[in-house]
Structure 1
Amino acid sequence: MSATVLIVEDEPKLAELLRDYLQHAGYEASILDSGPPVAQWVREHDPDLILLDLMLPGKDGMEICKEIRTFSSVPIIMVTARVEEIDRLLGLELGADDYICKPFSPREVVARVRAVLRRSGGNTTYTEQGLALDESRMQATLHGKDIALTAVEFKLLQIMAANPGRIFSRDQLMDRIYSDERIVSDRTIDSHIKKLRRKIASVVPDEELIRSVYGVGYKYEVAEKE
């Protein structure tokens, strides 16, 4: 069965062009041209991915993304002509999976859709040393206790927990989190790690899962119980 993509775009020609390219690539594609009906449409049709324009009539993409994340972990690619870094970071904090900046080529969009769907396709739950990560719901639990994470924090924890003991440099983490090669400072990763550690500590204050390796980066490690 083909993956379904919801295109939320108020420029009719652009929306139709994207739909044509996606359908030619083998996807099913639907179009909405305003913000208010999006959340209900997602509830009713459960798409595999959403291409969500930032500037929409009635309700902007940031609001829609935040609303959808209250009930769904469907991958969301934000489409925007506003390239300010604060908008990008805010979008990811709200749960967006990727960005595409206008102007773009339709082929680029298809490639990004394919990449995001491939990354999110597993949607599996796995447990490692008391940690359970449910990608389909973006939910993390440690020893049965919920850890409320943003999308970026979840991805950072998922990457490191899947490779316990491996040291990741800041650049490696940035490359995996921000796939569009945007310029993001080291401090951005440090900030996300700091918040992730704080949230883990609020659940299990006696365990330090994310460890700093001075001058190198970070690793996920659980100390052996004596």
Structure 2
Amino acid sequence: MELYLDTADLAAVERLAASWPLAGVTTNPSLVAAGGRPLKSTLRELRACLGPEASLFAQVLGQTSDEMVEQAQQLCQWDARLVVKVPVCSEGLGAIRRLKALGVRTLGTAVYAPLPALLAAQAGADYVAPYVNRIDAQGGSGIVAVTELQQLLQLHAPHCQVLAASFKTPRQVLDCLLAGATAVTLPVVVAEQILQSPAVDAALAGFERDWLNAFGGLVLE
């Protein structure tokens, strides 16, 4: 499983990367804009934090295939291990095909249904990112979409991975992994919720209390 953080918040990445087995970080234009720092410097700082083997994802802003390809090449000049996020639309599919021929790794983003994602995979995308919670918000089922997409890729485009995105709860993440998704990207707040448990906190407090009562200090002897 590949575990990513979906954020441009360097402080949050530094905090979680110290203990979490992160494969890298995904960003999008809204996340970068919220951080208020230029994309180039944001990617450079994230790379310094995560190390040379991590994967970073950044998205093109162009509206045409030509603009997307040009921006993708610019992004790859900034970071050699970058995966370029391209929207799954008609112009995006053309850009993915051209970038595949250029050896640029891509992720088909803004996926709301399985069939467009399959087209992106067949065009050459390395990842496709279904928006789980946003599909739910539109009256669909994000988990069903992930399940169907995973089956489609196994049958017709096994080179491509589902990188499930847009989560509001840890339960959604679990359901996607059980559906076979091999990569997920989590907002920081959802990632932190995974390890938040009053029961665990109470158990640890009880262990400490019992040890102190017996031995007077937190020393292993």
Q: TM-score, normalised by structure 2?
A: 0.35
**Larger radius of gyration, structure 1 or 2?**
2
Q: TM-score, normalised by structure 1?
A: 0.34
Q: Which structure has more RCO (C-alpha within 8 Å, separation ≥ 6)?
A: 2
Question: Hey, which of these two has a bigger chunk of strand by percent?
Answer: 1
